Structure 1
Amino acid sequence: MRRSWIALGVGLPLAVAGLYALSRRGAPAGDAGTPTIAKLFASGAAAPAPASLAGLDITNISMADNVATAPLPNKRTARLTLDTNLQNAALGVLESHHIPEAAVVLMDVETGRVLVYANHVEEGSPRDLCAEATAPSASVFKIITGSALLEAGVTPSHKECYSGGEQRIHTRDLVSDPKRDRWCTTLTGAMGRSINTIFARLALRHLKPKGLEGTARTLGYGAPLPFDLPVQPSGLKIPEDSLGFARTSAGFWNTTLSPIHAAWLSATIARGGEPVRPVLVSDVVSSSGKVEHTATVGVSQKRVLKPEVAKSLTEMLDDTVLEGTSYRAFHDGRGKAFLPGVSVAGKTGTLSNASAKRHYTWFTGFAPSHPYMPPQSADGAAPMVNAPRQVAVAVLVVNKPTWQVKANVVAREVLRAYFAGYNLPGVSPPSARRVSDRRDPPTAKNR
Structure 2
Amino acid sequence: MTIRRRLLSAAALFPLTLLLGATGPQPAAEAPPEASGTGSATAQAPADTVSASPPDAGSPESLATASAAVLGSASVADGGIPALAAEPGLVPPVPVPSRQSAPPIAKLQPLPRAADLLARAKLEGERLVVKEKDGRKQVLTIDPLLQTQLTNIMRDYGVPYGAVVVLEPSTGRVLALAEHSAARPEVRGLPVRAVFPAASIFKIVTGSALLEAGVPPSVEECFHGGKRRLSEKHLEDSERDGACYTLALAMGKSANVVFAKLTNKHLSADALRRMAARFRFNREIPFSVPTDISLAAIPDEAFGLANTGAGFGDVYLSPLHGALVASVAANDGRWVDPVLVEPETGALLPPEGEAVLTPEAAKDLTAMLEETVTRGTARGVFRERGFRVENAVGKTGTLADREPFRDYSWFVGFAPRDNPRVAVAAVIVNDPKWRIRGTWLGREALRLGLERVPAPVEVTAPASAAGKH
TM bracket, shorter-chain basis: 0.7 to 0.9
Which of 434, 437, 461 is the aligned partner of 1:403?
Answer: 434
Instruction: Identify the residue that residue 194 of structure 1 maps to in structure 2.
Output: 254
Instruction: Answer whether contact 2:39 2:396 (CA < 8 A) is retained.
Output: no
Structure 2 distance, partners of 1:362, 1:182, is 29
CA deviation profile, 1:313-346 (whole Å, cap 9, x unmatched): 00000000001000111112xxx57336x21110
Gaps of 5+ in 2: 1-35, 48-72, 77-96, 106-113, 456-469
The equivalent residue for 2:52 is none
CA contact under 8 A between 1:58 and 1:128: conserved in structure 2?
A: no
Equivalent residue, structure 1, for 2:422:
391
Once the two structures are superposed, residues 56-87 of structure 1 have per-residue CA deviations (whole angstroms, 9 ceiling, x without a partner) of 53334433422123454556442210111211
Tell me which amino acid in the other structure corresponds to 2:292.
Answer: Q
- What is the alpha-carbon distance in structure 1 between the residues aligned to residue 149 and residue 38 of structure 2? 33
Matches within 5 A, 1:170-181: 170-177=231-238, 179-181=239-241
Moved more, 136-145 or 156-165: 156-165
1:354 to 398, 402, 421: 402
CA distance in 1 between counterparts of 2:45 and 2:339 reads 34
Quote the offset at 1:126 in angstroms: 3.4
Q: Which residue of 1 aligns with 2:214?
A: 153
Quick check: 2:38–2:377 contact (8 Å CA) kept in 1? no
Q: 1:310 to 1:33 in 2, by over 3 A?
A: closer
Distance, in Å, in 1 between the alignment partners of 2:327 and 2:287 is 14
- Residue 110 in structure 1 maps to residue 170 in structure 2: yes
Structure 1: gaps (5+ residues):
1-6, 19-31, 43-53, 284-290, 372-388, 425-447
User: What is the deviation of 1:34?
Assistant: 5.0
Aligned 8 A contact 1:105 1:393 in 2:
yes
- In 2, Cα distance between equivalents of 1:11 and 1:264: 21
Amino acid at match of 2:168: D
Counterpart Cα distance in 2 of 1:17 and 1:61: 46
- Structure-1 separation of matches of 2:293 and 2:272: 17
Deviations 1:149-191 (A, max 9, x none): 00011111111111121111101111011x2011111111000
Percent identity, aligned pairs only?
35
Letter in 2 for 1:260: L
Q: In the alignment, which of 379, 391, 407 is matched to residue 327 of structure 1?
A: 379
1:41 CA displacement? 7.8
Partner of 2:68: none
1:289-438 aligned within 5 A? 296-332=348-384, 336=385, 338-339=387-388, 342-371=390-419, 390-421=421-452
Tell me the number of residue pairs that the alignment of Structure 1 and Structure 2 aligns: 365
Go from structure 1 to structure 2 and tell me whether the alpha carbon gap of 1:78 and 1:362 turns closer, same or farther (over 3 Å shift): same
Say if 1:108 and 1:391, in contact at 8 Å, map to a contact too: yes
For 2:436 and 2:299, how far apart are their aligned partners in 1?
33
Question: Are the equivalent residues in 2 in contact too, given 1:102–1:396 (CA < 8 A)?
Answer: yes
Match of 1:126 in 2: 187
Relative CO higher for 1 or 2, CA cutoff 8 Å, sep ≥ 6? Answer: 2
The 5 Å alignment of 1:136-285 reads: 136-177=197-238, 179-282=239-342
CA distance in 2, matches of 1:145, 1:337: 34
- CA distance in 2: counterparts of 1:40 and 1:422, whole angstroms: 37
Instruction: Return the letter of the residue paired with 1:351.
Output: L
Q: Secondary structure at the match of 1:325?
A: coil
Structure 2 residue 131 is the aligned partner of structure 1 residue 79: no
Give the AA of the match of 1:12.
Answer: A
State how far apart, in whole Å, the 1-side matches of 2:333 and 2:454 are.
Answer: 30
Q: 1:16 to 1:206 in 2, by over 3 A?
A: closer
RMSD: 2.7
Name the SS of the counterpart of 1:59 in structure 2: helix
The 8 Å contact of residues 9 and 196 in structure 1, kept in 2 or not, is answered as: no
3-state SS of paired residue (1:298): coil
1:16-55 alignment, distance < 5 Å: 36-37=97-98, 55=115
**Cα gap change, 1:132 to 1:72, in 2 (>3 Å):** farther
Determine the structure 2 residue equivalent to 1:286: none
CA contact (8 A) 1:37 1:134 kept: no
Q: 2: distance between equivalents of 1:62 and 1:307?
A: 41
For 1:394, give the aligned amino acid: A
Query: What letter corresponds to residue 351 of structure 2 in structure 1?
Result: V
1:40 is displaced (CA, Å) by: 8.4
Cα distance in 2 for residues equivalent to 1:33 and 1:307 = 40
What TM-score do you get using the length of structure 2 for normalisation? Answer: 0.72
Contact 1:281–1:295, Cα closer than 8 Å, also in 2:
no
